[in-house]
Amino acid sequence: MANHFTRNLRQYVRETLAEFDTQQLNSFLLVETCRRVLNFLVVDSPQRPVFRNFRHLVNDIGHTLTMGLLLRVVLFCSAAKPWLERCFSILFNLHERRYCKDVPWLLTSLEHANVALITNFSDIGYQF
């Protein structure tokens, strides 16, 4: 039996770009779907900064597995990488005036994101 988060994600993906269901997958649909999934998983927008799903993921499966999930999305579609960076930028901007001790989940998430992105997308030789 799927948990609440899994059901919500499944429903969100089904409804994402439903108007294109009869078309073949193309680069636009791939990037847009991945972008919307990242928005759902992390944070939607600065105007609507809801990050409940991200907090649930971090609390339920931990920072490493959460970042692994997000990394899989951008490895599958590298054109979506700027959207992941944008999501973390939104989270940072929302919390930048808070003390580090008040948002340890964000600090650890940013550290994991930094390591994941450097080791997989950097040109400085850390790719595995």
Residue 90 to residue 92: CA distance in whole angstroms = 5
Domain of 11? 4-17+25-121
In a domain, 128, yes or no: no
Residue holding tokens 């997000």?
70
In a domain, 84, yes or no: yes
Residue 112 to residue 31: CA distance in whole angstroms = 23
Number of domains the chain is built from: 1
In a domain, 33, yes or no: yes
Cα–Cα distances (Å) from 58 to 15, 20, 66, 90, 106, in that order, read 24, 32, 6, 17, 10
20-59: pLDDT as tens digits: 889 998 999 999 999 999 999 999 888 988 899 999 999 9
Check residue 57 and give its pLDDT.
92
* pLDDT exceeds 60 at position 128: no
Q: Would the CA dihedral through 116, 119, 124, 126 be positive or negative?
A: positive
Residue 65 to residue 49: CA distance in whole angstroms = 22
* Residue 72, phi then psi, degrees to nearest 5: -60, -40
Check residue 14 and give its pLDDT.
87
Residue 110 to residue 128: CA distance in whole angstroms = 20
Residue 9 to residue 93: CA distance in whole angstroms = 25
In a domain, 80, yes or no: yes
* pTM of the entire predicted model: 0.85
Q: Would the CA dihedral through 34, 37, 43, 47 be positive or negative?
A: positive
In a domain, 71, yes or no: yes
